[in-house]
Structures are given as structure tokens and as C-alpha cells.
Structure 1
Amino acid sequence: MLASSRRRPRLAVGCALAAIAAILASPVWAEPAPTYAALLSQLGQTPASLEADARVDAAEGRVRQARVRPNPVASLEAENAFGGQPFGGYANAETSLAVSQNLELWGRRRARVAVATAEAKTSVVERDLAVIDTAGRLALIYAEAEAAERRASLASEALTLAVADARAALALVEEGREPVLRGIQAESEASSARATLDEAVAERDAAFARLTAVALLPAPVTTIADSLLDQAPASIITATDRVPTVRVAEAGLAAAERRIDVERINARPDVTASIGLRRFEAEDATALTFGVSLPLPLFDRNRGNIDAARAEYRAADARLAQARQDARADRAAANARLGASTSRVSAADAGVMAAEEAYRLSRIGFDAGRISQLELRTSRAALINARNAAVDARLARVRAEIDLARLEGRAPFEGHL
């Protein structure tokens, strides 16, 4: 009965060994992801960057259009023709041919161009912000894929350790130095480690798929060759007015101010001048005609649009104030996160070294029969947690660098754009 009970955990651990061998012997794709620097150099081909470039081109087109003068209007008019006597037929008709031109007085065209130019500058700043955000998203997804790969590797190592510990426990069971319960517990731990590895592999594949999609790669990513988690982040933050969000708000305020000028000018009469020729058929004579037309501002003085433009200016001014306040707060938070993440990485690395030594000593003690399986299990769990904590600490440091880069108006881990 005892021999039968002992064989069960041995067979279970054998299955676990076969499982890990199957996982580790599964086909390994040999197509590593391009380096982060290489992906960053192709950032202009991403949909977000292309959309931002298109918006800039559209704004520049509106600037060119704003500089164009309105087209003249040609008119042909005939009077006193084909009516009753003495205006039967066309013998006594008067024919007028005139050309009229909007004079765009009061600086209408200049104000229109100023608004379009300000909006184009806003589009340029928004494009820069979009590129920075896209670079930050790329860096985060790249780092998350690398972290998922490391977690899968750590899960594989954890399964190897669990199986090795289970085999050692079974040897003690066979020698009668440990009860059969210890073998069953070892089997359970190996099964749990196997499930953790399956989950980690699934997360890794999902992270690789996200990186493949975001980076627009032609082939699926299968491994990360160039580490981003181990790169040291920058530690310099420029003045607050260089923060892209503040620059966007400043450009929006300038454009809102220009719109007020446009609406004020639109309240003034829009003058149109005309000149032409009139043909008198009865007298067989031709005369010059000229004139000026303008609306009378009796009812509409554009006050509603002026008030609306002023309100939009106040809103833009409030957005700028909020952006500056947020930039100051974000700068303080980014500095704090950078310091904390750097300290966390150092502490995590020290924790891994301590956990590795503790597990090594625990394993020696367990093999010698000086410590229990529970103590060995505890030290192994501490080692696994310490290694995963080191990965999490590096991922947090990448996030801190992304925040810093956004405040500085640059791509993460790269110089200023």
C-alpha cells in the first residue's frame, strides 16, 4: 500500500518533467524584434504620426488659401428689351457689362491670414505632441513585451526549481525520511508552477502580438534581443514652458486672440467696388458705369460672434493656466517617480541576490535533512517573488522615463525631437 502511494507522486512529477520538457522543446521562433531605436526611427510611418502630418498639411493649405484674394465677379445685364412699345425687340435695349471686386478693407485679408497661420502653428505643436505620445506608447509596449518575456522565462525557471525540489522530496519519501504527504505537496506545487508558466507564456505571446501591431512589423515578434528594461533613464527636466501640453495651450490662446480680431473686422462694412460699360442701342452709344456697394450695419453688427470669440479666448487662457499648473505638478511627480523607481530597481536587485543565496542554502540544508520542505518551499517562493519584483521595478522605471520624456518634449530614451 505504501509502495503504491509512493509511486503516485513519482509518476506525477514525471509528468511534470515531461510537460516542462515539451514546453522548453517547443518550436522557438528565430525572428527577434527590431531594436527600440530602429522602431523609433520609423515612428513617422505609424497611423498616429501620419494623421498628425495630414492635419499639418491641411492647416498649411488653409494658410495658402487665406492669402488668396476673392475672385472678381463679372455680370451681364440687359434692360428695356423684348417688351411693349417702344421697347419691342432689342432696338432700344440697354446692355451693361460690369466687373465687381471685394476690396477687403479694414485688414480683412491680413486678419484672415493671421488666424490661419496661428491655427497652423497649433497643428505643428499638436503633431509634435502626437509623435511624443506615440513614442511613449511604443516604448511602453516594447518594455511590456520584454517584461512578459522575462516573466515567462522566470516561470520556466520556477517550474524547473519546483520539479527539482519535488524530485528531492520524493527521494526522501522513498528513503522513509519524509511522509508520503510531502510527495503529494510537491506534485501540487509542480502543477501550480506549470499553470503559472502556461499563463506567463500566453501573456508573453499577447504582448508580442501587441508590439507587432503597434510597430507595424511585417513578421510577428518572437523575442526581444535589445533590452529596454535595463537602460538607464534620463534625469534632466527642462523648463515648464517646453512641456508640449503647455505649448499646445499657448498656440491655442494665440489663435483665439486672432479670431477676436477677425470678428471685430467682420463687424465693419464689406465694401465691393464695380466698374463696367453700358451699351445704349437706340443712341448707338456706350458709357462707363462704376459704383460701390456695402451693407448698412443697422441690424447685424456681429456682436454675437465677437462675444463668442472673446469667450473662447477666456477658455483658451484658462486651459493655458491649467496646463502650466499641471506641468508643474507633473514635473514634481516625475522627479519623485524617477527617484523612487531607481531606488526600487536597486533594492529589487539586492533582494534577488539575497533570495538566490537563501534558496541555495535552503536547498543544501534540505538535501542534508536539516530543514523541512516547508522552509524550502518558502525560500523558493521568496526567490520567485524577488525575481518578478525586479522585472516590475524595471518596468516602473520605464514608465517614469516615459513621463519624463513627455515633459521634456522628446521620445523616451532618446534625445530631443
Structure 2
Amino acid sequence: MPLRLSRTLIHGIFTVSLPLTTLAQDLPLTLREAVAHAQERAPTLRGADAAARAADAGVEVAGLRPNPTLSIEAENVLGTGRYSGFGGADRTVSLAVPLELGGKRQARINVAQAERAAAGIGLTGARADLTQRVTEAFVRLAAAQRRQDIAHSALEWAERAAHAAQERVRTGKASPIEEQRAQVLKLGADTRFGKAVRALALAHADLTQLTGDAALAISASWFDTVALVESAPSGQPSLSVVAAQAQLAIANARVDAARRDRMPDVTITAGTRRYGDSPDKAAVLSLSIPLPLFNSGSGALVRAKAQADQANAEGESAAIEAQQALAHAVADVADARAVAQTAAGPALTAAQEAARIARLGYAEGKFPQLEMIEAERSLAETREAALEALTDYHLAQVRLARLQGSIQPIYKD
């Protein structure tokens, strides 16, 4: 019996499915999704991918042999007498085939393969750079969201404090100066909140430019924790060193190609010739070889060797710089981690407890307003310091991951 769905049931299915689709679109954006979206649309990756495809084609081109040359000649034509037309012409048809000697073709292939390897490394470097940019933008957006929350909380407290001060002045429990102080604090908190809102909008726009995703919320639960990130093996060279080694391999391959280019190539020609009106034919054979009288290829070889020396020096320099940068990055992560653990741990807990006691004491009339203001100021500074410490820690982790050649998000939601 065939299964039939009523129109009402079909409408109900679509009605239920639409909110699910909307819900999927409204889910917070994770770091992994942000990196994936950025990699799909980044012009730098498209350019690096095009360079890699061009290098692949270059290997194919390098392996092609020289084309033969077909020649058709007519001699003794357009003259006088019996040679006035083309009837008495000697006609020759020949095919010339150049023969590359000395392994030139393989040398070209080696150069193209080295260039292809360098293009692949360039693509990996572009991915690593993009991952770093997106992760840094993501971290700054997460920090901006928390900074706005802190500013909003401070503004709410300032409004309550201003109202409390107003009531105390109205009932004669405090002087008008106390109300003025509260109003000043409220104005300052309102200014800081407006600044935080604008900074959040700018950080959101920065991430949207990279990912093309205008999601209003992100998921960054890892931001509030100070955890060690799994790093790459210590013996693995950085991408900058690998890229320099690839350039050195290209230079060495070009030296070998320049050395082999000094050997002249041979061209073999074979054909047939017909003499005038006679039915007689004869074979035509020739062997030609260029004489290296003016250009022996020594200048090109000297240039290639100099470029190889330059690439070797740049590789050594890149290795030194990468080692120094990695050492500094590891130290920066350790320092930022220690500061973040302290600022977001005991220091923040103590400041929160001091502010809580000051608020209760002020509400009960046991503490003066200045002590409460000092406690709140200390709490705001401690929160800001904790947020800055966490931001610095995560950015240091991002820089370290980039130096280690990571192309994947360092945090997983």
C-alpha cells in the first residue's frame, strides 16, 4: 500500500524544521569554524594555491623535450632562363631534431620540482599566517566582550551607588559632597562603558572581515582558563627555516642546471631532395652544433653560484632568527601564564571580597564612602588587569603556535 502524506502533515514538518535551521544559524561561532570560514574565502590562500598549481604545471613543462623543426626549401627559383619559374627548382623537405645533452632536461625538472616544493611550503605558510590572524582577532573579540561586561557591571554599580548616595543625602545621613562623588563615578563608568561598546563593535568587524561571518556571538570558554597548549615537537624546524631551505634547494638546482647548460646541444637533420625536373631524389643529412665562442655559459654559472651562496646565508640567518624568536615566544608564554594565573586567581578573589565587604559596610553606614570607592576602584583595576593578562597569555600562545608552524586552531571548543 503506497504511503501518502497529507498536506497538513507536510506543512507541520516544514514548520518544525524552520526553527531548527534558524537555531543552527544562531549558534555561537567557534574558533575552529572561524578559521575554516576564513580559509574558504581568504584571497591570500587563493593566491598561494594558484602559485602551487603554477608550480605543478612548471614541472610538467620542464619535462617536455624540444620540438622538432620541419623545413621546406626551394632552390634555384625565380631566376632567368630555365630557372625563371619553379619548374626547375631543387626541392628539399627535412626534419631537424634537437638533442639535449648533459642531462639538461633532468636538471630543468629538478629546478621545477624544487620550486613546486617551495610553493607548497608557501601555501602552508599562508595558512599558518591566516590561522594566526583569525585566532588573534578571535581572542581580541572575546576580550572585548568581557571588557564590555565588566564596564556594564561597573556602570550598574555606579548607578546604584549614585542612587544610594542621593537617598543618604536626602535623609540627612551624608553631605552633598558624597552625592557629587557618586555622580562623578557614574559619569566615568558611563564613559568607559561607551568606549567598551565601540571597541567590541570594532573587534567584531575585524573578525567579520576575515571570516565573512557576521555572527553576533562567539564561543570562547577557553578564554577564562590558563591551560597549557600542546606544542609541536621541539626538533621540528619552523616554517621560516623550511622556506629558507626550500629556496636553497632551488638555488642549488639552478647551479646544476647552469653547469649542464654549458654543454652544447646537437641538432640532427634528415630529409629528402628532388632535383629540378628530374625524378632523381637524394637524402639530406646534417649535424649541427653551436660553438661557444662568445657565450660559454660561465657567467650564468657564476651568477647561479652567487645566488646559492646568498640563499645559504639567508637560510643560516633564518635559522638563527627562528631559534631566537622561538626562545622569546616560549618565555613570553611562561611569563604571561604566571601573570594570568595570579591576576585571574588570588588577586581577583581578594579584590572581589574586599569590594563586597565595602559595599555591605557602606550600605549599613559602617564604612565611609571613600573606602567603598577605593575598594571598587581596586576591583575594577584588578578585573582589567586579569583580562589584560588573559589576553596577553592567549596572544602569546598564538604567536608561539605560529612559530611552530601550526595551521590548526590551538583551542578546541
Q: Same fold, TM exceeding 0.5?
A: yes
1:235-275 deviation line (CA, Å, top 9, x unaligned): 53523542111111111101110011111222222322211
Matched residue type, 1:224: I
Mapped to 1, the partners of 2:336 and 2:232 lie a distance apart of 16
**Structure-2 residue corresponding to 1:288:** 283
TM-aligned CA deviation for residue 39 of structure 1:
2.7
Mapped to 1, the partners of 2:235 and 2:80 lie a distance apart of 81
Matched residue type, 1:284: P
SS at match of 2:52: helix
SS at match of 1:291: strand
TM-aligned CA deviation for residue 230 of structure 1:
3.3
From 242, 246, 253, the counterpart of 1:247:
242
Q: In the alignment, does 2:142 pair up with 1:146?
A: yes
Q: In the alignment, does 2:245 pair up with 1:267?
A: no
**Structure 2 unpaired stretches of 5+:** 1-24
1:20-74 deviation line (CA, Å, top 9, x unaligned): xxxxxxxxxx945421122334454132222222211110010011111121111
Matched residue type, 2:90: E
SS at match of 1:242: coil
**Structure-1 residue corresponding to 2:69:** 73
How many corresponding residue pairs?
Answer: 384
Please show how residues 145-164 of structure 1 align to structure 2 within 5 Å. Answer: 145-164=141-160
**Structure-2 residue corresponding to 1:410:** 406
Q: In the alignment, does 2:228 pair up with 1:201?
A: no
Distance verdict in 2 for CA 1:327–1:303, change over 3 Å: same
Q: In the alignment, does 2:41 pair up with 1:53?
A: no
Please show how residues 36-51 of structure 1 align to structure 2 within 5 Å. Answer: 36-42=31-37, 44-47=39-42, 48-51=44-47
Mapped to 2, the partners of 1:65 and 1:383 lie a distance apart of 68
> Does the aligned pair in 1 maintain the 2:111–2:253 contact within 8 Å?
yes
Mapped to 2, the partners of 1:102 and 1:208 lie a distance apart of 63
SS at match of 2:55: helix
Q: In the alignment, does 2:218 pair up with 1:224?
A: yes
From 389, 395, 406, the counterpart of 1:399:
395
**Structure-2 residue corresponding to 1:364:** 360
Distance verdict in 2 for CA 1:125–1:332, change over 3 Å: same
Cα RMSD for the two superposed structures = 1.9
Matched residue type, 2:216: T
Mapped to 1, the partners of 2:335 and 2:373 lie a distance apart of 31
Please show how residues 90-101 of structure 1 align to structure 2 within 5 Å. Answer: 90-101=86-97
From 168, 173, 177, the counterpart of 1:172:
168
> Does the aligned pair in 2 maintain the 1:43–1:49 contact within 8 Å?
no
From 99, 110, 113, the counterpart of 1:114:
110
1:191-215 deviation line (CA, Å, top 9, x unaligned): 1211111111111111111111211
TM-aligned CA deviation for residue 413 of structure 1:
4.5
SS at match of 1:326: helix
Aligned-residue sequence identity (percent) comes to 30
SS at match of 2:224: coil
Q: In the alignment, does 2:24 pair up with 1:34?
A: no
1:74-114 deviation line (CA, Å, top 9, x unaligned): 11111101212342222321111111122111111110000
Mapped to 2, the partners of 1:339 and 1:317 lie a distance apart of 33
Distance verdict in 2 for CA 1:206–1:43, change over 3 Å: closer
Mapped to 1, the partners of 2:389 and 2:230 lie a distance apart of 17
SS at match of 1:297: coil
SS at match of 2:281: strand
Mapped to 2, the partners of 1:204 and 1:79 lie a distance apart of 84
TM-aligned CA deviation for residue 150 of structure 1:
0.8
**Structure-2 residue corresponding to 1:105:** 101
Mapped to 1, the partners of 2:378 and 2:174 lie a distance apart of 23
> Does the aligned pair in 1 maintain the 2:96–2:267 contact within 8 Å?
yes
**Structure-2 residue corresponding to 1:87:** 83
Q: TM-score, normalised by structure 1?
A: 0.87
Q: Which structure 1 residue ranges, 4+ long, deviate > 3 Å from structure 2?
A: 30-33, 40-44, 411-415
**Structure-2 residue corresponding to 1:301:** 296
Q: TM-score, normalised by structure 2?
A: 0.88
Mapped to 1, the partners of 2:167 and 2:246 lie a distance apart of 74
Matched residue type, 1:396: D
SS at match of 1:229: helix
Mapped to 1, the partners of 2:62 and 2:163 lie a distance apart of 80
> Does the aligned pair in 2 maintain the 1:139–1:412 contact within 8 Å?
no
Mapped to 2, the partners of 1:139 and 1:53 lie a distance apart of 22
**Structure-2 residue corresponding to 1:14:** none
**Structure 1 unpaired stretches of 5+:** 1-29
Matched residue type, 2:238: V
Mapped to 2, the partners of 1:92 and 1:412 lie a distance apart of 78
1:255-303 deviation line (CA, Å, top 9, x unaligned): 1100111112222223222111111124321111121222211111223
1:286-327 deviation line (CA, Å, top 9, x unaligned): 111121222211111223322221121111111111111112
**Structure-2 residue corresponding to 1:190:** 186
SS at match of 2:268: strand
From 235, 247, 251, the counterpart of 1:256:
251
1:376-407 deviation line (CA, Å, top 9, x unaligned): 22211111121122221111111121122123
